Structure 1
Amino acid sequence: MSHDPAALKVAIVTGTASGIGAAAAAELESRGWTVAGFDLRPSPQCSFDACVDMANPEEVRAAVARVVQEVGPVSAAVSAAGYYEMLPVSEITLDHWRRMLSVHVGGFVNLSRAVMPGMTTAGGGSIVAITSELAIGGGSHDAHYAAAKGALLGLVRSLAAESAPSGIRVNAVAPGPTDTPLLAADSPWRAPEYLSTLPLGRLTSPEEVAICIAFLLDEGTFCVGETLNPNAGAVI
């Protein structure tokens, strides 16, 4: 595939098969980015589509190398791949903990480590992690999910401080409950009793989260180690 690297803005977005990842890919493509989508399922809306287990560092490294070879240098990466699970803490097994952390924290680490050398050589880049308002406010029956998302906040701030001298900006977006397939129809986050507690009275949309992501990549060049919170007022 021939390409002119100078004419491309290449972004890798993970979790692009649905939800926030899919919305982010669509928003970035509409803004002129060439998006490489990483997911375990197909992401046909992306310019480049790869089946990748984000918890596997070798798979991530190989997929990033393919993007650079076939599309062009990567100047942005968005770690949106993840899953949600509600369990009382007494039922969270060691395997539950390991999987949650390996997908959310490990996925972000694997993606960052794979793209940062190229960004450093290019003199800059931008990385965005999708965390959650539960990382800030916590929630009943969400301990392993909130812990993984909370770890991302500390990781983003630390990596931001380490990477900024190389011109790489690292930031986060922490959505509240978002209207995606991750929330089942009977989810307590969709219940009218919960929605009535939100200042906006509704769920956040994936398109709104995508706008925050795009802002951090395009306009928010002054943002380093920051967290945007599109959560309908769940945490103020």
Structure 2
Amino acid sequence: MSPVALVTGAASGIGAAIAGALAEGGWTVAGLDLHPAAAVSHSVVADVSDSAQVADAVASVQRDVGPVEALVTAAGHYAQSAVSDITAEAWQRMLRVHLGGLRNCAHAVLPGMRQRRSGRIVSIASELGIAGGDSEAHYAAAKGAVIGFVRSLAAEVAADGVRVNAVAPGPTDTPLLDADSPWRAPEYLATLPSRRLCRPDEIARTVSFLLDEGDFCVGEVLSPNSGAVI
């Protein structure tokens, strides 16, 4: 039986691309999203920011599909706002989805991984969590916190056979970026050595590498970003 990978945010964008790539690579893929995910073997509708919903979803996957050997947290939320305009609710929502979602999912799958002394966790961060960005402080802060969590958890569970890493993409061609987003502007694209946005399939291949070949990767942050951050 093929190993089970649980992908959050699997209904669209980067998450959907990751789910498809893993399925092609021989994984049995379960998806967790606010919406049903089409390209997975088992789809669960749940909110990653709600720990009880996540615990129930993971229990459902492990009961109906099998033990979760790999977790990929790709569920995301993006917004631009000047710091002076970020409301308390907007700040909390950004942290709940990104950092809270990672914590909730890791908390649910880690007991089984540690017991089996085998497992992989990859979280989708962002190059903005490394370099920051104008009018993106709450998003950059949440993604930076994800990177800190990944590095700390990686050190904590490596001796148990669990590998934890992050992928920090640059601006990626997904519906999260509006048509008039400054990241799509020709003036910005001209600053990139590759002159284009990342594609979701490129992020997916990076995740696949960490799951399938990254045995010696512990707390790494791989950043496919079209040369935006070198």
TM-score scaled by length of structure 2: 0.99
SS of equivalent to 1:170: strand
* 1:44 alignment partner, one of 24, 38, 55: 38
SS of equivalent to 1:185: coil
Residue 180 of structure 1 aligns with which residue? 174
Residue 229 of structure 2 aligns with which residue? 235
Kindly indicate whether residue 116 of structure 2 is the aligned counterpart of residue 107 of structure 1: no
Q: Which amino acid aligns with 2:3?
A: K
Kindly indicate whether residue 198 of structure 2 is the aligned counterpart of residue 208 of structure 1: no
SS of equivalent to 2:148: helix
TM-score scaled by length of structure 1: 0.97
Q: Which amino acid aligns with 1:99?
A: R
Residue 163 of structure 1 aligns with which residue? 157
SS of equivalent to 1:186: coil
Q: Which amino acid aligns with 2:109?
A: V
Residue 3 of structure 1 aligns with which residue? none
Q: What is the deviation of 1:83? A: 1.2
Per-residue CA deviations over 1:142-168 (Å, capped at 9, x if unaligned) read: 000000000011110000000101110
Instruction: Tell me the number of residue pairs that the alignment of Structure 1 and Structure 2 aligns.
Output: 230
Q: What is the deviation of 1:95? A: 0.4
Residue 17 of structure 2 aligns with which residue? 23
SS of equivalent to 2:80: coil
Q: Which amino acid aligns with 2:31?
A: G
Superposition CA RMSD, Å: 0.5
Kindly indicate whether residue 218 of structure 2 is the aligned counterpart of residue 219 of structure 1: no
Q: Quick one: distance in 1 between partners of 2:128 and 2:44?
A: 30
* 1:75 alignment partner, one of 38, 53, 69: 69
After TM superposition, the structure 1 = structure 2 runs for residues 143-162 of structure 1, keeping only pairs within 5 Å, are 143-162=137-156
Q: Quick one: distance in 2 between partners of 1:169 and 1:52?
A: 25
SS of equivalent to 1:77: strand
Q: What is the deviation of 1:44? A: 1.4
SS of equivalent to 1:182: coil
Q: What is the deviation of 1:42? A: 1.1
Q: Quick one: distance in 2 between partners of 1:102 and 1:123?
A: 29
Q: Which amino acid aligns with 1:152?
A: V
Residue 120 of structure 1 aligns with which residue? 114
Q: What is the deviation of 1:8? A: 2.3
Residue 199 of structure 1 aligns with which residue? 193
Q: Which amino acid aligns with 1:41?
A: H
Q: Which amino acid aligns with 2:186?
A: P
Q: Which amino acid aligns with 1:50?
A: V
SS of equivalent to 1:127: strand
* 1:35 alignment partner, one of 13, 25, 29: 29
Q: Quick one: distance in 2 between partners of 1:78 and 1:218?
A: 13
Q: Quick one: distance in 1 between partners of 2:176 and 2:36?
A: 17
Kindly indicate whether residue 129 of structure 2 is the aligned counterpart of residue 135 of structure 1: yes
* 1:54 alignment partner, one of 35, 48, 59: 48
Per-residue CA deviations over 1:115-141 (Å, capped at 9, x if unaligned) read: 000101111100001000001111100
- 5+ residue gaps in structure 2? none
SS of equivalent to 1:49: strand
Runs of 4+ with deviation above 6 angstroms: none
SS of equivalent to 2:19: helix
Q: What is the deviation of 1:199? A: 0.7
